[in-house]
């Protein structure tokens, strides 16, 4: 059965990720984790060497490369990626360039080409796809009193502007994906509004990437539901991840970025089968990019 979504499996090669706390900092552990995610059905493996959690401190390009290159090379040497793709989660042009040389075919830039003036050129000169994400400020500052006139309209306007910038830089439109940046400079209310009105962003005409997986707003909502003071820890947020991923898919998301590939894939497969004919031709078309 042809499914109207792709799963992007998260491989954090960092010591300070909110979701796994350095569990895959060792290259061999990260390579094995990537192999498992691919086996569970991840069409894309997203490799990141710099945490983008709220308050995260930046790392140098050299350190980022030291973390991710052995993993990218190990994935390439393993030969099990098959028809899948490898994505590099970076905002640094030098890291993107090295990752592309090592086999990455997607650059997932949370800064939407704003952090490094050379990133657009690197992408324009390659055959890579890219994901442009909305974020207020930078990871260190993005959660300081985020405010919007209308979060959906503001995010849509930002993504439209960044797509125009990418096109002007020579990046082909068919190689662009867009991400509203759930949890990146947004309150719980902002995140829920974006999910509820995600279909409005489909008007931009490009595949939408949505990553709610294990995000703190899920932990807070679930804790509030049972009267707990502290948000549920990241490892207990799978039910919320599944619920928000299904809702995102129903509203037009094409790529779901998740940590727990197998259970999310099962839930989305059932959701797709249930919705059936409600999928629009546009939604089906945007699940495939060249």
Catalytic residue annotation: 215, 257
Contact 34, 81 (CB under 8 A): no
d(CA 31, CA 36): 9
């Amino acid at each position: 059965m042809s499914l109207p979504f792709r799963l992007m499996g998260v491989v954090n090669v960092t010591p300070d990720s909110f979701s796994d706390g350095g569990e895959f900092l060792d290259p061999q552990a990260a390579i094995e984790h990537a192999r498992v995610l691919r086996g569970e059905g991840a069409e894309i493996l997203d490799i990141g060497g710099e945490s983008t959690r709220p308050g995260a401190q930046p790392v140098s390009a050299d350190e980022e490369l030291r973390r991710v290159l052995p993993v990218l090379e190990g994935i390439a040497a393993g030969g099990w990626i098959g028809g899948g793709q490898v994505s590099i989660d970076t905002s640094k042009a030098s890291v993107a360039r090295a990752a592309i040389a090592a086999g990455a075919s997607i650059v997932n830039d949370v800064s939407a080409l704003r952090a490094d003036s050379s990133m657009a050129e690197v992408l324009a000169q390659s055959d890579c796809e890219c994901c442009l994400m909305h974020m207020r400020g930078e990871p260190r500052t993005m959660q300081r009193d985020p405010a919007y006139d209308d979060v959906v309209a503001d995010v849509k306007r930002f993504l439209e502007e960044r797509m125009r910038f990418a096109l002007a830089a020579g990046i082909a439109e068919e190689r662009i994906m867009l991400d509203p940046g759930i949890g990146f400079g947004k309150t719980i209310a902002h995140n829920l509004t974006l999910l509820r009105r995600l279909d409005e962003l489909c008007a931009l005409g490009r595949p939408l990437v949505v990553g709610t997986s294990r995000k703190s707003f899920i932990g807070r909502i679930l804790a509030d539901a049972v009267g707990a003071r502290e948000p549920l820890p990241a490892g207990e947020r799978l039910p919320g991840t599944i619920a928000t991923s299904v809702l995102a898919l129903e509203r037009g998301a094409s790529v779901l970025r998740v940590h727990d590939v197998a259970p999310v894939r099962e839930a989305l497969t059932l959701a797709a089968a249930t919705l059936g004919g409600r999928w629009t031709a546009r939604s089906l078309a945007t699940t495939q990019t060249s």
